[in-house]
Structure 1
């Protein structure tokens, strides 16, 4: 029996040309993660000839156009066994959307930690001042998730406090998510009926999959902050001892914060934003 390969990087593409920021994201990804296979995923009708002419990709996987028709389509793809089936030769995939950025190659280190899913945590608005209050927040969040507290028929914000995490730059254990995408199909179908962000695919893996039972091994938020930042960036840096994480997501929404860090790596993102 052929052993599984360790990890592949997977980048979603939606259009034949990239913005300046997307070019920065892709260039940095291919530079830093050059030791790993990097696959594009795209709609069947999209021609990537121009992008492939400028960037070296390991391969391209095509899916139905409907999967790339807005956020709802993408959510369906990321919750589909058909998606994970394409990468079953690999133990893990790193989803690297083109609004993500990787600072250094820690990919194999994160694969070795035993987690099934990792992404940037959704930090609560106010940081916990001490260990006791931190555990209180964790227990309260766990309670609100378990009973599925709602506000106007939408999962309450309390369910998201310090939960892990965002899917735009995320490490996923392929076979585990493949199996759960089949086993949890009824719950997934309920998510497909809703368009609110509280029903996005990363919420499903982060919260829904573990709502009653622990089906996925996911790190606590302080460990996840070493993997990626997305929101509350000053707070994220404070929790992470002022160290940059492995990568980040949605950096184009926080240009002022990221400008000095990107400049050190040779990217001027302050000028002519996008």
Structure 2
């Protein structure tokens, strides 16, 4: 197995079944990256037989259902230390949700760059970005490479905790005061602090952490567009000299017709397949 302790691929799922388009994403992950460790991360008690029917050798990591019981908790799972401590034996984790697609194996080369966080580029307007939208940053968690030690160091940083607490104090002073009082004993006994972050975990890592922690290395726009596409894939494709990135995220959501010939060139037939009409809908488990 290639680079068995360098990087692990985490496919996070919360349902025992998947759509035909999600099956394509699953198959392609193993077709291209199957020589790396890959873990199917799902709630304890979830039936994984449908996944095993497609990928018999798939390794399953059952975690407490709480983490995937709602989208808010799923977001926290990618912020809090829990999952990064669980995979602390690896240098990097690649999050690969089942609306991602990988075109070729560039994974080791991206690990060699030494970045702490990389995902697809973002544009002003985010999911509703217009063709001429300005660059907003780099983020997107559904297909993202993260340095495990940097995730833990960033999340547990007292500087970051204080900065976020100060922001909270300006908006909700009493709530921030309660959090400060609760966290002081935690700090004294070496326990994890708490944070209040209401937006997506990808914006936490891609836009917030590096603003408060200068050492945290987020990919540049030019690096990110070679790593992954999400919104405005046609624009990014032109900027890349009509070369596809390492992978992409939400390819069925933003511009299926752009991705169609490239996905089908990998051996898949998309005729008659319809993407989900809603996204970020994580229903309760159990």
Task: Supply the distance in 2 between the matched residues of 1:221 and 1:86 (Cα, whole angstroms).
Answer: 30
Task: Supply the distance in 2 between the matched residues of 1:126 and 1:273 (Cα, whole angstroms).
Answer: 24
Task: Supply the distance in 2 between the matched residues of 1:271 and 1:6 (Cα, whole angstroms).
Answer: 39
Match of 2:269 in 1: 268
Aligned: 1:226 with 2:226: yes
Match of 2:19 in 1: 19
Aligned: 1:189 with 2:195: yes
Aligned: 1:174 with 2:148: yes
| TM-score, scaled relative to structure 1 | 0.80
**How do 1:148-159 residues align onto structure 2 when only pairs under 5 Å count?**
none
**How do 1:50-199 residues align onto structure 2 when only pairs under 5 Å count?**
50-57=50-57, 59-124=59-124, 125=130, 127=132, 161-183=135-157, 184=160, 187=164, 189-191=195-197, 194=198, 199=199
Contact 1:259 1:269 in 2 (8 A): yes
Structure 2 unaligned segments of length 5 or more: list them: 125-129, 165-193, 276-286
Q: 2:105 is paired with a residue of what secondary structure? A: coil
Q: 1:211 is paired with a residue of what secondary structure? A: helix
Task: Supply the distance in 1 between the matched residues of 2:33 and 2:15 (Cα, whole angstroms).
Answer: 23
Match of 2:237 in 1: 237
Aligned CA-pair RMSD: 2.0
| TM-score, scaled relative to structure 2 | 0.77
Contact 2:100 2:247 in 1 (8 A): yes
Contact 2:80 2:155 in 1 (8 A): yes
Deviations 1:130-167 (A, max 9, x none): xxxxxxx7xxxxxxxxxxxxxxxxxxxxxxx3411111
Contact 2:4 2:37 in 1 (8 A): no
Contact 2:226 2:244 in 1 (8 A): yes
Structure 1 unaligned segments of length 5 or more: list them: 129-136, 138-160
Q: How many residues align?
A: 235
